[in-house]
Amino acid sequence: MKNTIKILLFLSLFFLAASLLIFPAINKHYDNENGMRNVVINRLVIEAERTVGEGEPYAPDLTELQGTYGERYTPDRVEYLDAGALVDTGEDYVWDAFGTEMICSVKGAEGQICGFLRITYLSGDREFTVCVVAAIMLLSYIAAVFVVIALYRLMVRPFYILSEYPEKIAKGRLSEGIPQSRSGLFKKFIWGMNMLKDEISLKDKNINRMEKEKQTLIISIAHGIKTPLSNIRLYAEAIERGIYHEDKKPDEKDAVTAAKITKNVEKAEQLVREIMNSSADIPDVHNRAVTAFYLEELMDIVKAEYCGRMELLHIPFETVCDNNPLLCSDKDGLYKVISQLLDNAVKYGSGQEIILRMGRQDEDVIISVKNKGNILSEEETAYVFKSFWRGSNANGHEGQGIGLYVSKKIAERLGGDIFMKSYAEEDITEVTLIVPVDDNSRYGSRSFDGEP
């Protein structure tokens, strides 16, 4: 909008400057033209006075005048009128209202008026020319303003709005598809962007599904290895004690061998434990980027993405921002967590009111999401932030059980935490995110993995 205003201001200044140049030029042109015409008129009057004084009728040779002064300054018609034909105005020259016809008095030798010359020019209306030029400039200005405004409404503004969506899609900040533009000029572009969003969403689901299947396979194999290792350890202990000898006495060489077997079994068991522990972790694709911003900026992003969606779903959505502190944190990371909490509130709630509240308390920012319906038991809430864990209220809902796990990791890497509490008597679930106001100053500059 600012650029459009600048263009309109430039157009206004341009036409104003053009007016200041064109109209003085027109006046100057006509002043010069009228000066030459006055020379011609004076010659005609002198010739008329001489001719009439000699008692002869006056009939000027306009062709000769054209050859001397040019067609532009030569009258198109000259007519001599007797003194009684017109009333004496007391002036030697009288132009008509349009500046194209002049009445000149012809005087005799003693200064008496003998007659009049009616000199007519078919061109040279200064006022008419000025009006035409002014009308053309005004219409041109209106047309230019109309074109600029039309281009802004039909192309610039829709494109400016659409230019934000690729970044939103890349950051996972587009919960719904891109709305169609009223102009229809970007119909194919919007269709392609929505298809891209759906394709990215589908790939993310497939990646999460394959990740779950891979980790399930790893855990199954690890569990399968634990049983043979336990048996090998038991056999090694039996060999070390000499249980397989007839006299049941341990043999020194067998004991050394059994000890080696036990040591290798311990290494294998440690490796299995590491595999099982690592399989519980999910690679976080979110790149942590700490910037300074106000809390209301984060709230505005959430409202822009979710108010329309909640309205379509007929879910009352209340947003409360208790204060507006300046944060030094990861705005995209915080939005990703809030988005996950709101999606869960929509998915697992009963369709009743959802409340998002933000505000600063001491050195922390508290962000909470409340919703009604389908609460989890206190025992289950202890596991909601585990990877691939899904609660008893997840039946019939899509998901892989990693959303809250990733949210927990983001919160921890921002120096904060996240937890869930259920109020059975009110049928309310509340998830609270706590992060420091200044991530860098309080927790130091850290890498994405949380290492100093």
Q: How far is CA 104 from CA 87, 123, 182, in A?
A: 12, 19, 67
CA distance 34 to 44: 15
Between 100 and 355, the higher pLDDT residue: 355
DSSP 113-182: EEEEEEEE-SS--HHHHHHHHHHHHHHHHHHHHHHHHHHIIIIIHHHHHHTTHHHHHHTT--SSPPPPPT
| 3-state class (DSSP) for residue 257 | helix
Of 324, 329, 216, which is closest to residue 280 (Cα–Cα)? 216
CA distance 323 to 358: 8
Give the pLDDT score at 377. Answer: 65
CA distance 434 to 412: 9
CA distance 139 to 136: 5
241 & 217 share domain: yes
The 10s digit of each residue's pLDDT in 60-83 is 888 888 888 887 788 888 888 877
CA distance 114 to 371: 107
Give the pLDDT score at 179. Answer: 63
Contacts 24+ apart (CB under 8 A), 390-394: 393/348, 394/348
Give the pLDDT score at 124. Answer: 58
| 3-state class (DSSP) for residue 58 | coil
86 & 205 share domain: no
Range of the structural domain that residue 21 is part of: 2-127
Flag whether 253 is in a domain.
Answer: yes
114 & 232 share domain: no
Q: Where are the alpha helices (DSSP H) in 171-251?
A: 187-241
The 10s digit of each residue's pLDDT in 184-210 is 667 777 777 778 777 777 777 777 677
CATH number of the domain bearing residue 392: 3.30.565.10
The 10s digit of each residue's pLDDT in 325-361 is 999 999 888 998 998 888 888 888 777 889 999 999 8
Domain boundary among 279, 302, 337: 279
114 & 206 share domain: no
CA distance 217 to 215: 5
In the sheet that holds 77-82, the strands lie side by side as 77-82, 113-120, 101-107, 93-95
Q: Where are the alpha helices (DSSP H) in 280-375?
A: 295-312, 331-348
Domain boundary among 127, 147, 170: 127
306 & 263 share domain: no
Between 307 and 127, the higher pLDDT residue: 307
Flag whether 313 is in a domain.
Answer: yes
Tokens at 37, concatenated:
């015409």
| 3-state class (DSSP) for residue 401 | coil
CA distance 356 to 349: 14
439 & 298 share domain: yes
CA distance 387 to 393: 16
Flag whether 141 is in a domain.
Answer: no
CATH number of the domain bearing residue 226: 1.10.287
406 & 308 share domain: yes
At 94, is the pLDDT very low, low, confident or very high (cuts 50, 70, 90)?
A: low
Q: Across-strand partners of 379? A: none
Domain boundary among 127, 158, 178: 127
Single-letter residue type at 88: D
250 & 349 share domain: no
Flag whether 439 is in a domain.
Answer: yes
Flag whether 143 is in a domain.
Answer: no
Per-residue pLDDT at 270 exceeds 90: no
Flag whether 167 is in a domain.
Answer: no
Structural domain count, the chain: 3
Flag whether 158 is in a domain.
Answer: no
Question: Is residue 262 packed enough to be buried (19+ CB in 10 Å), middle (13-18) or exposed (0-12)?
Answer: middle
CA distance 342 to 355: 9
Per-residue pLDDT at 177 exceeds 70: no
Contacts 24+ apart (CB under 8 A), 217-220: 218/275, 218/276, 218/279, 219/276, 219/279
Q: Which helix (H) or strand (E) holds 7?
A: helix 2-53
CA distance 163 to 159: 6
The 10s digit of each residue's pLDDT in 258-267 is 888 888 888 8
Q: Are 363 and 440 in contact (CB under 8 A)?
A: no
Q: Are 421 and 430 in contact (CB under 8 A)?
A: yes
114 & 38 share domain: yes
Of 32, 44, 27, 59, which is closest to residue 93 (Cα–Cα)? 44
Q: How far is CA 83 from CA 56, 87, 113, in A?
A: 15, 8, 7
Q: Which helix (H) or strand (E) holds 390?
A: none
The 10s digit of each residue's pLDDT in 13-56 is 888 888 888 888 877 777 777 778 888 888 888 888 888 777 77
317 & 387 share domain: yes
CA distance 249 to 242: 5
300 & 268 share domain: no
E strands along 253-333, which residues?
291-294, 317-321, 326-329
Give the lowest-confidence range in 291-300, 393-402, 412-421: 393-402
Mean of the per-residue pLDDT values for the chain?
Answer: 77
Flag whether 168 is in a domain.
Answer: no
Within 10 angstroms of residue 279's Cβ, the number of other Cβ atoms is 19
339 & 400 share domain: yes
Tokens at 388, concatenated:
């691939």
Single-letter residue type at 416: G
